[in-house]
Amino acid sequence: MKMLSKKPNILVIGDLMIDHYLWGSCDRISPEAPVQVVNVKKESSVLGGAGNVINNLFTLGATVDVISVIGDDNVANELKSLLEKIKISTSNLIVENNRKTSKKSRLIASQQQVLRYDMESIDDINEESHKKIISNLEKNIKKYSSIILSDYGKGVLTTKLTQDIINIANKNSVKVLVDPKGKDYSKYKGSYTLTPNKKEAQEATNIDIKDENSLINALKNLKEKCDLEVSLITLSEQGIAIFDENLTIKPTVAREVYDVTGAGDTVIASIAFALGNDLNINEAVSFANLAAGVVVGKLGSATTTLDEIYEYESSLHKSNSNSHIKTFEEIEKLASKLHNLGKKIVFTNGCFDILHVGHVKYLEEARSYGDVLILGLNADSSVKKLKGDSRPINNQDDRAYILASLESVDYVVIFEEETPYELIKLIKPHVLVKGGDYEGKAVVGQDIADELKLVKFVDGKSTTNTIKRIQENEKCNN
């Protein structure tokens, strides 16, 4: 996956709420009624509903605006405070005096939810609030890369408002992504995509999704009825299904699942963020799968950062080899992030013309000296200067791809210069690794790295020897 450096401006419109938790323990039953007596030891509150989408966008690094309708109550003040803590403006929150701001309280005893009680209004917003939302949107629409409609069925996203938002966005070429609610998806007609899960898609289409054909039929049904550009269905541990002209299923990449709470919010936020960084929809969904893989490995409604996603992808090592081949600009940004994460960076370089067991063992040992191995690969022009006009046997793209596929190699960077000094300056590795034949010699970049490690070569294993054997066999055959 390429580095995502943009901070897209994304607007979230939907139902804001507070998720409130009371944490305690229980060791007796009440004498007044057959219920548990919970001794509450602490309480916590976090952004819920559309607020969790906002939180996900914020932690990814997006610039986020929010439009919603709240009540004139203490819960509204608490909600504003939570938004302001993550530097999200509350100036576009519209107050309706007779409305209750949504708050969902959960009583947790010994990590088990024993009760939930809600205080909220679920009536449709009034006409005045509708007009204020549309007026605000029309004034600011051009600054957004996309709009996320986060519908929790609490009355903000009425059918008329939803259609008005989509029409304004489409006229201005702004993508609308919707996390839908209910069984009737006609209110979302004309949006870029919807992100229902399998159960929601079955209810909305009346199609029992049990195999690939029924999945395609459900995706087509949503695409046609809702006039979507791209049709999506999230399939839990199976990944995400996409239908544009053909069916594609992006498999999930979660290693361990502790809690799926809020994973849907992470998916829609991640897709919008990736699209805002100029990824196509397939790349955006792959990115969202990685983000969801991080989130379901945490307890509670969680979020993830770009750094966590990059690290997670690297640890899985299931990404396409091309994604491990970086430019100078990309590796500089990546190295900076790795330094900030406290990772020990190892650097080595070479031609690696015809890969053999000596190379593989050398790279495995180099990788053992730190957390991340970055390999500087001599470009074809550089190899010719070092080895002569008959080399390299394999071109730089082929060599880079093969090296990037090795488990021991995290990233490959091709350099044109005779030495990798400028590359080493960008990376600032902690450990510099060279072959044992450099014993007692000056090593390029030694003044930058914290330490130098020399690795002995495997006896008799070299590209030159391999080429000689091939040439000798050819002579014998002739």
Return the active site residues.
265
| Neighbouring-strand partners of residue 49 | 16
Residues contacting 297, CB < 8 A, separation 6+:
254, 255, 256, 257, 258
For residues 178 and 195, is the Cβ–Cβ distance under 8 A? yes
Classify burial at 474, counting beta carbons within 10 Å of its beta carbon; exposed 0-12, middle 13-18, buried 19 or more: exposed
**Beta pairing, strands 102-109 & 93-96:** unpaired
Angstrom distance (rounded) from CA 389 to CA 361: 28
97 burial via Cβ count (<10 Å: 0-12, 13-18, 19+): exposed
- Rounded to whole angstroms, the Cα distance separating 291 from 453 reads 36
**Helix (H) or strand (E) segment spanning residue 349:** strand 345-350
- 346 and 374 in contact (C-beta within 8 Å)? yes
CA distances from 33 to 25, 29, 36, 102, 300 (A): 18, 8, 9, 29, 31
Give all strands of the β-sheet with 193-194 in edge-to-edge order. Answer: 93-96, 63-71, 9-14, 146-150, 175-179, 193-194
Report the candidate in 151, 162, 192 with the shortest Cα–Cα distance to residue 275.
192
Rg of the chain, C-alpha, whole Å: 28
Which residue is it, tokens 């998806």? 185
Tokens representing 306 are 């770009």
Across the strands, what pairs with 248?
Answer: 242
Two tokens, residue 46: 């976090």
- State both tokens at 65: 């605006």
